[in-house]
Structure 1
Amino acid sequence: MAQSAFATRQFASESFVESCGAILFDNTSPERKVCILHYLKKDEWLLPKGRRNQHESRKDAALREVTEETGYQCHLLPVNVRTRAPSEHDSYDTPDHVRLQRNSLEPFMVTFRELDNGARMKLIWWFIAALDSESARSRGAGEADFRPQFFSVEKALERLTYQTDREVLEKAVEWVEDTLQTASPVDGLYL
């Protein structure tokens, strides 16, 4: 029996969970700010994320989790990303190489977190989101264990408890900045 030349691990459904989260930017302010969560029980600073429900798209899960944990309504922010995924317009035999996709609403990063010494796996799909303008004035309750707070990117990077969260935020900022550099005034991007 043939073996794959690629290092492969497989997990049955009882051994993995998918989570989705988003970097939430406030584009209602002239200074770029990002929302992070103070997890009160452990005194940790985190990015908003949580488990995806069955039959829920990853995009919907990310938006729901951000709203549940922060109390803020938001929407996905279209950004330019370099990705190996073909666009909906590419043919089936498009070569597998990195290409620039403009105005993407797809995950910009994925985290693989081993649990129980590798017996279980958690996948976290990361999106980029922006605060809805009306949400900036009226925040919902959010989850009781979390206190959301907007910081400058630099302060958020200092506050985040885990290096992996810092890396996710840094990559999100890179994509947003790249998008802004190539945006025309007609695009209406203000981040």
Structure 2
Amino acid sequence: MASVWWKSTLYPSEQFVEACGAIVFDATANPKKVLLQHYSTEDEWLLPKGRRNCNESRKDTAKREVREETGYAIRLRPLTMATRAPSDIESADVKDIARTYDSLTEPFMLDVRDLGNGKGVKLVWWFIADVDGIVGKGEVQFKPEFVQCDKAVEKLTFEKDREVLTKALELIELSGE
């Protein structure tokens, strides 16, 4: 039996959960603002995200979760970014290296969270989006607020959320926006 040269961990479906979230910008604000939500029960500042439903695309999950949690509709923002995924016009045997493409609405970040105690992992796919209007009130435990980008990084409770937002800001700057 051949062995592989990479580290690999297999998780059956009952051992993983997928979630999707979005860094949501108010493109009309000057200076730019980003959507955070305050979870008052724990006094935490978070980015909107939540679990993917069966048969739901990741893009649709990100849109639904932001809408459910904050009351805001979003549209995914096309960006210039690097990815190892081939474009839809490249051959199937294209080299597996990062290439930069324009106008992508793909996840820009993946957070793999070990749930501990043999419970498996949570995969959180992150997108970048713009607010597209208010469509509801959102969930009562969250209070959405647009915060200036530089202050938002400091305000987030968790370091991983700060890293996700920082990368999103880098991509926005790289795209010249």
Tell me which of 156, 164, 167 is aligned to 1:168.
Answer: 164
The AA in structure 2 aligned to 1:174 is E
TM-score (norm 2): 0.97
* 1:1-191 equivalence runs, <5 A: 1-117=1-117, 119-132=119-132, 135=133, 138=134, 140-180=136-176, 191=177
**Distance in 2 of aligned mates of 1:111 and 1:177:** 22
Partner of 2:121, secondary structure, is strand
The AA in structure 2 aligned to 1:57 is S
**Distance in 2 of aligned mates of 1:118 and 1:156:** 34
**Distance in 1 of aligned mates of 2:86 and 2:175:** 19
Deviation at 1:116, TM superposition (A): 2.2
**Distance in 1 of aligned mates of 2:117 and 2:166:** 28
The answer to whether the Cα contact below 8 Å between 2:67 and 2:135 also exists between their aligned partners in 1 is no
Deviation at 1:59, TM superposition (A): 0.2
**Distance in 1 of aligned mates of 2:137 and 2:2:** 55
Partner of 1:147, secondary structure, is strand
Deviation at 1:160, TM superposition (A): 0.3
The AA in structure 1 aligned to 2:91 is S
TM-score (norm 1): 0.90
Partner of 1:55, secondary structure, is coil
Structure 2 gaps, min length 5: none
**Cα deviation digits, residues 109-138 of structure 1 (max 9, x gap):** 000000024541000000000011xx1xx4
Query: In percent, how many aligned pairs have the same letter?
Result: 51
**Distance in 2 of aligned mates of 1:170 and 1:101:** 20
Deviation at 1:143, TM superposition (A): 0.5
The RMSD of aligned alpha carbons is 1.1
**Distance in 2 of aligned mates of 1:115 and 1:102:** 35
